[in-house]
Every structure is written in C-alpha cells, then in structure tokens.
Amino acid sequence: MNRTWLRGPAAVLFPDICVCCWREPVSRRQPVCPFCLEDRFEEADPDVARGTVGDFLPEGVILRYALWKYDKGGSLQELLYRVKYGGMEGVACQFGERLAHRLRPHSVLRRLNPSRLLLLPVPLHPARLRLRGYNQAERIARGMQRTWALPVADPETVRRTRNTRSQTGMTLPERISNLEQAFDVRRPELLRGRTVLLVDDVFTTGATAFSLSTCLLKAGARQTAVVTVARA
C-alpha cells in the first residue's frame, strides 16, 4: 500500500519529515534525511576510486558511474518514480548533490580540465516534458551544479526529436531500434572539445545514454561520461 496515502494528515501536520522513512525531521530544501541518504540504499560502485572504467563501454565513453543499485520494489524505486511523475523536484536536486559529491574526486575526472566539463541532462521529448512539467534529469544536474560548479547545457543544445515508446520490458536490440534518430544536436559549438557528463536518473542497458553519446561525439564532443542516480 502506498505510504504517502497511509501518512494522511501527518503530511499536513508535519510537512518537514523525510519523504523516504517518514520519521526523521528534515528541511524543505533537503527532503531526504541524512540517514536514508547515507545508509538506506546500496552503493552501486563503492570503490569510487576505481569506478566503472573497467566495464565494457562504447568508444568515446570514458566512464559510467551510478550512486546506488536500483532496488526494484524498494524505497529507492518508489522515490525515483515520484521524482519522475510526482513532482518531487527537491529530491531530484538532493540526489544530484549527493551524486556530485561522490563523483567529483573520481580518478578519471580529476585528470581532466574542469573548464572543459559540461553537464548535459538526457533530454525529454517536448510532449513528455509538457506532461510531467519538468525533466527530472535536468533537476538532478542542477543539484550536481550546487556541489560541483560545472555548467549545465542549455536545453536547446540537444533536442529529443522522437517521442519514443517506453522501453520498460524491451530487449537491448529493441531499445536500440526504438532510439534510432531520437536526438538532434542543435548547438554543436557548445560541445566541441568538451567532456560531456550525461546525467539521468537510472541506467538500465545504456541504450539511451550510448545513443545520445554517439550523437554528441559526431557533433564534436571530445568524450562523454554517463552518470546516474541508480543502476538497474
């Protein structure tokens, strides 16, 4: 049963309570309590110094990094669902802050010139953006920017030109086919020579991120990294 419904009047009487455990007091700017943020979710890549550079990655993608393992049916899945569809922008920003805190000292990124790094949220199709009211990946990127003063790409830099079907339940070949010609780089001059950090909520097969990465590399980006809150 949905815990938000169970909480009922408490949501009105005690609004500043952690949206994950519903117990610990929090500020409106930090809606997830420190305990949940630190200890509730399982780290996806605990050895941050090594990270995921050893994984098989497409050419031009130097890193894939995620904060936590996606806990199907658990608290993290519920929170990420409400971030995407329930307007929990504050949680998205807080997750972004945590992501940047963990990612900033990564050995791969420390070797790069910070002035050549760019955060690029995976874009939504305009129809989905109107339906949801905001892009959760953009809010995660803004949270990262609070901790790590990197620029966030203008929304017009890359557009999603195809309103692709939901990829839940698709095989990898089906996902790749679904994403053919889904992205269009509108402002390549903002990408040239940069390392672009692609920001999203969940990494599943990588079809979306790697398809977008291919477009950015063709447009002149030096290289890309894929960074997400969770890894399925």
Q: What is the pLDDT along the chain (232 residues), one digit of tens a residue?
A: 344 433 444 444 445 899 999 989 998 889 999 999 999 999 997 665 444 554 578 999 999 999 999 999 999 999 999 999 999 999 999 999 999 999 999 989 999 999 999 999 999 999 999 999 999 999 999 999 999 999 999 999 999 987 765 666 666 566 666 667 789 999 999 999 999 999 999 999 888 999 999 999 999 999 999 999 999 9
Q: What per-residue confidence (pLDDT) applies to 168? A: 65
Distance CA 94, CA 75 (A): 16
Give the DSSP H or E segment for 110.
Answer: helix 107-110
Between strands 195-203 and 223-231, the pairing is: parallel
Local structure of 40: helix, strand or coil: helix
Q: What per-residue confidence (pLDDT) applies to 177? A: 61
DSSP state letter for 108: H
Q: What per-residue confidence (pLDDT) applies to 10? A: 44
DSSP state letter for 198: E
Q: What per-residue confidence (pLDDT) applies to 15? A: 58
* Strand runs labelled E in the chain: 61-69, 117-121, 158-160, 183-185, 195-203, 223-231
Distance CA 140, CA 137 (A): 5
Residues 6+ apart with CB under 8 A from 18: 24, 25, 26, 31, 32, 33, 35, 36
Taking CA atoms, 4 is separated from 39, 41, 76, in Å, by 21, 19, 14
Tell me whether residue 203 is exposed, middle or buried, using C-beta atoms within 10 angstroms of its C-beta: 0 to 12, 13 to 18, 19 or more. Answer: buried
Q: What per-residue confidence (pLDDT) applies to 97? A: 97
Quick one: tokens of 123? 């874009």
Local structure of 193: helix, strand or coil: coil
